[in-house]
Amino acid sequence: MDAPTTHSFGLAKINQAQLERFAQELAFALRPGDVVSLTGDLGAGKTTFARALIRALTKDPEHEVPSPTFTLVQTYESEHLGLAHFDLYRLSAPEELDELGFEHLIEAGVAIVEWPQRALERLPAERLEVSLSEPSDGDAATRDILVSGRGAWARRAQRLHAMHQVIGNAGFDGDDVRLYALAGDASSRRYGRLVSHAEPSCSFLLMDWPRQPDGPPVRDGLPYSQVAKLAEDVRPFLAIAHALRDSGLSAPSIFNADTQQGFIVLEDLGALGYAEALAAGTKQYELWRDAVDALLALRRVPADQPLPVGNGEQFQLPRLGRAILEIETDLVPDWLWEAVHGTPPTGNERQRYHSIWAPTFERILAEPTGWMLRDFHSPNLLFLAEREGAQRAGIIDFQDALQGPAAYDLVSLLQDARLDVAAELESELLAYYCKRAAAADASFDEARFRSIYAALGAQRNTKILGIFTRLARRDGKPRYLAHLPRIWGYLERNLAHPELSTLAEWYEDAFPRRVRQRGLAL
């Protein structure tokens, strides 16, 4: 389907508080290079809207925002982009816009333009137009807004309208509700927090997750996301969130969602992650035991049943397959090898590597399958101190879940990539898990479970070594290299298992201990 060239929608008879919140919604949607033009008669509310928009972008509700009527432009700085507020009422000729540095200011920022009709030929064709007017019934306390997106902004205007409706239909259309953007998590998702000034302790989250275009093919003509079976829209998140909550676990409640445009209003479980809880003095054993209890509870939940999305659709958890294991472990020869050795591995070396992993993959894939949340570790766990037992572990970022061996999530937790988990604590909680799993399931084979735990730990830590190296070398994020010594340490714990002796020999040949201890300086 061809993208529309324009899209318009209207908001009728909104008061000043609603006008300001719509400005906050628009601020949430803006990105560098955007131009927003404001039209309306004198006194229509253009400056009021611009002021609310600037305050939302600067995250300062008291920010002084003078009118640029005489200066023609006022500039501001926010966390991630510059802002330029233009008032062209006194512009004598369109060419003066060039003298004001218009093009330079929007290269890495946002331009808000009042009286754009004075220099339309100098404005980009792709822009968002916001027109304010007094309602036809003459109600001076309210305004009508017409929003029109042109060019690339047409599709984005559709999403802006959808976001506004999702928030309102979730019940957050009161005059005192405000939307604040939150720092991103380096994924395609973005988050905002909806807060009521009347009850500031009560807040909710807005998730913005548009469906992403497929990347280039990497294997068998498929992009990485499809090979690795990563979620590509909000449907898996919605289905899994419902399933986890129905199982008695602390996933966020869902209040409203637009599956087509990719917006969800969900419960705010807070910001006390496991790292923050540790820093505040909570004992690591208690935190990690709560999370282990959550995994034990999840063992009782079937993973092979269709899960309701909530809109009449159903979602089936994909199964862990060989292609996923292979493409993840290939991150070491693809990225780490050259970073250490200076040249890519030879074809023979790759073949040797694949042949060593093959029997381990066979053992993993022969395991009975259950829930495999896949990223069950400290960055995705919140401490909910007011709850009890397993429910103290708030679970987020689970949309990529699969049907796979239950040991995967346990090793993700007990060999946390971002925080140190001492071998003694890992051993204690692994024994705790096995004891309780055996008590609940007479068929539980502890020796077999520990073997698969080590195999999955080796596979996962291999993947992470490659990912963190790729983040440093390809994406310019060297801070991830600081985690490599921890990952090497976890990998060595797994490679000590007798069934991984051949893989341990390969690692010692390819990356001797002296190399691991030296680390990478990229």
Domains and CATH numbers, the chain: 6-152 (3.40.50.300), 321-368+445-522 (no CATH)
Largest Cα–Cα separation, the chain = 85
The confidence score (pLDDT) of residue 69 equals: 87
Confidence of residue 1 (pLDDT cuts 50, 70, 90): very low
The confidence score (pLDDT) of residue 311 equals: 79
The confidence score (pLDDT) of residue 187 equals: 64
124-152 tens-digit pLDDT: 999 999 999 999 998 999 999 999 999 99
198-227 tens-digit pLDDT: 776 678 999 999 988 888 888 888 998 899
Report the amino acid identity of residue 306. P
The confidence score (pLDDT) of residue 439 equals: 98
249 pLDDT higher than 90: yes
**Helix or strand holding residue 468 (H, E):** helix 446-473
The confidence score (pLDDT) of residue 156 equals: 95
Q: Are residues 93 and 121 in contact, defined by beta-carbon separation less than 8 angstroms?
A: no
184 pLDDT higher than 70: no
How far is 461 from 365, CA to CA, in rounded Å? Answer: 18
Confidence of residue 43 (pLDDT cuts 50, 70, 90): confident
For residues 146-174, give the mean pLDDT.
Answer: 92
For residues 444-460, give the mean pLDDT.
Answer: 98
Structure-token pair, residue 340: 């250490």
Across the chain, mean pLDDT equals 92
The confidence score (pLDDT) of residue 519 equals: 62
Structure-token pair, residue 11: 């908001």
How far is 193 from 196, CA to CA, in rounded Å? Answer: 10
Confidence of residue 427 (pLDDT cuts 50, 70, 90): very high
How far is 365 from 363, CA to CA, in rounded Å? Answer: 6
At CB < 8 A and 24+ separation, what contacts does 191-195 make?
A: 192/28, 193/268, 194/167, 194/265
Percent of the chain whose pLDDT exceeds 90: 79
